[in-house]
Amino acid sequence: MKAFQYATALSTDSARELVAGKGAYIAGGNDLLGLLKEYLVSADTLVNIKSLPGLDKIESGSKSWTLGALVTVGEIERHAEIAKAFPGLRDAASEIASPQIRNVATVGGNLSQHSRCWYFRHRDIQCLKKGGDLCYARNSDNRYHSLFSGNDCISPVVSSLATTFAALDATAVVLRDGRELRWSMADLYADAWKLRLAHNSLQPADLILRVEIPTVRNRSAYMQASDKHAFDWALVSCAAAANVAGGKLSQPRVALGSISPMPHQVEAANSFLDGKVLDDATASQAADMILAGATPLDHNAYKVPLARALIRRTLLKLKGDA
């Protein structure tokens, strides 16, 4: 690890000033410290943002909830009212890493983490995402990689929170150059879809301030499949949300994680589900629409039937039939 300075920011303005140039924000540090140790990133100054006022708050309202960027994953998991309002979000939080990591990992950190691709994480491999000429995963070990991608890099987004926020139509509020930008989850990862070097759409000095979740959907669910039962990344994850009344869905949303550089959603499938009474056949048809166009590689074709089963089960979970 290269030497760096350390500073604590007491305001967003000072945080931006301190990180200008070649600095980096740090809160929980779960991802950043590993990247620094492996010389995958470097920073002249680490800017501690844990003292920024208001970013550790969970606030509920009749129209929306707000989660500050410094709210920990553990707090989401243990929050009784979140469990009632957004059970899918609570379930997603409970699947992340270990209890010890969840107690320090933050909403902002989970959303902005870098690629988990082992070729990217190997310090001696100059892969496409590090400015090289080749995506080694495409013709090598790609069992954990994407089924969909808009560029030659096939590293998928692995944020469980991003997948669930996408299904909930949540908005990330990002501070850039003194202005607050409001991004959907699709916006937050749009650059990763288009650009091989990007992990997300954040520029180095951008700071996620909070996530706002509308309350228009009264049901949500999350499921994932992993190699191990606990403390493991999802092979595929699925989140679904809808307003359910009289057995019918309205404003349904389904999102998949770990199969694309951004949470994977298909608007045609959401439109198809709108107004439907869920049954196995309807859920299965939606799954086929969501997975249409998937391009499995030599070692990750198993993700297609796995995703199909997760979509069906997660949707049926919205009405208690999982």
In this structure, are residues 176 and 220 in contact, taking their beta carbons and an 8 Å threshold? no
In this structure, are residues 167 and 254 in contact, taking their beta carbons and an 8 Å threshold? yes
In this structure, are residues 278 and 321 in contact, taking their beta carbons and an 8 Å threshold? yes
Query: Measured at the alpha carbon of residue 99, what is the angle toward residues 98 and 105, in degrees to the nearest 5?
Result: 85
Identify the CA nearest to 47 among candidates 2, 11, 100.
11
Delineate the domains of the chain, giving CATH numbers in brackets. Answer: 1-53 (3.30.43.10), 58-112+155-317 (3.30.390.50)
User: Could you tell me what percent of the chain has a pLDDT over 70?
Assistant: 99
pLDDT recorded at residue 21: 79
- Give me 191's structure tokens: 């650059």
Pairing of strands 45-48, 23-26: parallel
- Could you read off the pLDDT tens digit of each residue along the chain, which spans 322 residues? 899 999 999 999 999 999 997 999 999 999 999 999 999 999 999 999 999 999 999 999 999 999 999 999 999 999 999 999 999 999 999 999 999 999 999 999 999 999 999 999 999 999 999 999 999 999 999 999 999 999 999 999 999 999 999 999 999 999 999 999 999 999 999 999 999 999 999 999 999 999 999 999 999 999 999 999 888 999 999 999 999 998 899 999 999 999 999 999 999 999 999 999 999 999 999 999 999 999 999 999 999 999 999 999 999 999 865 4
In this structure, are residues 68 and 202 in contact, taking their beta carbons and an 8 Å threshold? no
In this structure, are residues 312 and 321 in contact, taking their beta carbons and an 8 Å threshold? no
Q: What's the CA dihedral at 190, 193, 199, 203 to 10 degrees?
A: -40
Identify the CA nearest to 69 among candidates 38, 108, 101.
108
Count of other CB atoms within 10 angstroms of residue 2: 9
In this structure, are residues 101 and 30 in contact, taking their beta carbons and an 8 Å threshold? yes
Q: What is the DSSP letter of 181?
A: E
Q: What is the DSSP letter of 155?
A: P
SS3 call for 171? strand
Q: What is the DSSP letter of 170?
A: -
Pairing of strands 171-176, 207-214: antiparallel
pLDDT recorded at residue 162: 98
- Can you tell me the distance from the alpha carbon of 316 to that of 195, in angstroms, rounded to the nearest whole number? 35
Q: Provide Rg for the chain, Cα atoms.
A: 19
- Can you tell me the distance from the alpha carbon of 284 to that of 77, in angstroms, rounded to the nearest whole number? 30
pLDDT recorded at residue 322: 45
In this structure, are residues 241 and 168 in contact, taking their beta carbons and an 8 Å threshold? yes
- Can you tell me the distance from the alpha carbon of 106 to that of 110, in angstroms, rounded to the nearest whole number? 6
In this structure, are residues 49 and 25 in contact, taking their beta carbons and an 8 Å threshold? yes
SS3 call for 106? strand
Identify the CA nearest to 10 among candidates 42, 39, 47.
47
pTM of the model: 0.97
pLDDT recorded at residue 110: 98
Handedness of CA 244, 96, 158, 299 (dihedral sign): negative
- Can you tell me the distance from the alpha carbon of 198 to that of 259, in angstroms, rounded to the nearest whole number? 16
